[in-house]
């Protein structure tokens, strides 16, 4: 009964024996240890792009940022623990490998997201500034300096026509 608790406490303290005693995490750590770094980063990039296509392109995820950050941190800790448990490198080197793997995952998600917004989004036919098609920060950046966004919006309508895409998800 207390064996599972012992494994959990050992795993939290980064004990390699605990990693090997959990079957799923042991398999994942074995796969991570056997990958070359370039293949691991390419795999992380592809997983990030696939995650965006299959998961993040459906629905609104703006309000889920705290949960997504927790999941990101949990995945990072699992990958770091797998590197520590199955490689003979230092903590600094394991941290570097974990950071580069998670960075490749994030770049995969962002690349897929930007290409989706430019090429496959249902609102892609609406004209507007390129930065506005990619992110909602464009509106914030244009509005903040002098709070005369209505003038800038009129100029944008004069340039692009009656219907203009000023955000990633809506025409105006």
What residues contact 29, with CB distance under 8 A and at least 6 apart?
19, 20, 81, 82, 83, 85, 86
Asked if pLDDT for residue 13 goes beyond 70, the answer is no
Nearest Cα residue to 168 out of 49, 55, 56, 68: 56
Q: What's the CA gap between 50 and 68, in Å, rounded?
A: 16
Token pair, residue 72, equals: 């990101």
pLDDT tens column, 115-147? 988 888 888 888 888 888 888 788 788 778 787
**What is the structure's pLDDT at 2?**
40
Asked if 48 and 107 touch (Cβ cutoff 8 Å), the reply is: yes
Q: Could you state, in order of their start, the residue ranges of all structural domains in the chain?
A: 3-120, 125-172
């Amino acid at each position: 009964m207390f064996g599972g608790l012992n494994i959990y406490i050992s795993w939290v303290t980064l004990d390699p024996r605990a990693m090997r005693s959990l079957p799923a995490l042991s398999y994942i750590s074995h796969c991570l240890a056997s990958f070359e770094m370039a293949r691991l980063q390419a795999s992380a990039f592809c997983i990030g792009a696939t995650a965006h296509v299959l998961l993040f392109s459906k629905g609104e995820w703006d309000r889920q940022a705290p949960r997504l950050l927790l999941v990101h941190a949990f995945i990072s800790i699992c990958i770091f623990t797998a590197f520590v448990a199955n490689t003979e490198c230092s903590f600094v080197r394991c941290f570097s490998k974990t950071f580069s793997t998670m960075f490749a995952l994030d770049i995969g998600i962002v690349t897929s997201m930007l290409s989706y917004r430019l090429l496959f989004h249902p609102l892609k036919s609406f004209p507007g500034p390129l930065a506005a098609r990619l992110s909602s920060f464009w509106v914030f950046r244009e509005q903040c300096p002098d709070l005369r966004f209505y003038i800038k919006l009129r100029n944008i309508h004069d340039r692009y026509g009656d219907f203009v895409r000023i955000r990633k998800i809506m025409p105006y």
